[in-house]
Amino acid sequence: MTLFLDANIVIYALESHAIWGLLAKTRLATAQAAGGSFMVSDLVRMACLVLPLRLGNAVVEAQYRAFFARPDVTVVRITAAVCDRAARIRAAHNFKSMDALQLAAAVEHGAHVFLTADARLHSFTGITVEVLN
C-alpha cells in the first residue's frame, strides 16, 4: 500500500513535534512494517525545506533530504494532469490550492491513502483520506 504523505505528517515525524510527532512516527513505522511505501509531491518536499533553509539549519535540512532520498519514498511531479484535477477538486470542495494540489497528486500518481493531520480534508472522496489523530 502506498501512503501519500501530506507535508504536515513529514514535518511532525522528522521534527518530533511535541503533540503530533509520536503519532506520525508510529503511523509511518506501522505502514513500513506492513510493507507499505510512501509518496510525496515536489510541493511537500518544498514545504518541508523552507524553514530549515530560512533558519540555516543544515542538520534538519539534511534529515529531510535523507528522508526524500529513501528507497521507500517516491517524490512525484506536479504535472498538467495534477493541476487539472486540483482545479476540479478545488471547485468542488473549496479546499486551499495547496491542499487540492496534494490530493490531486496522490490520486493522479496512484497512491492508496492520503495521510494528513488536516481534518478538513476528510470530506474528500477521491481517495481514502486518513486523518492522524
- Inside any domain, residue 45: yes
As averages over each run of 10 residues, the pLDDT of the chain (133 residues) reads: 97 90 95 96 97 97 98 98 98 97 98 97 96 92
- Inside any domain, residue 103: no
For the entire predicted model, the pTM comes to 0.95
Give the model's pLDDT for residue 29: 96
According to DSSP, residue 126 is labeled: S
Amino acid identity of residue 83, one-letter, is C
Give the model's pLDDT for residue 81: 98
Q: What is the CATH number of the domain that holds 11?
A: 3.40.50.1010
Residue 71, SS3 per DSSP: coil
H/E stretch holding 7 reads: helix 7-14
- Inside any domain, residue 38: yes
Residue 35 domain boundaries:
2-76+112-131
What is the domain count for the chain? 1
Give the model's pLDDT for residue 19: 87
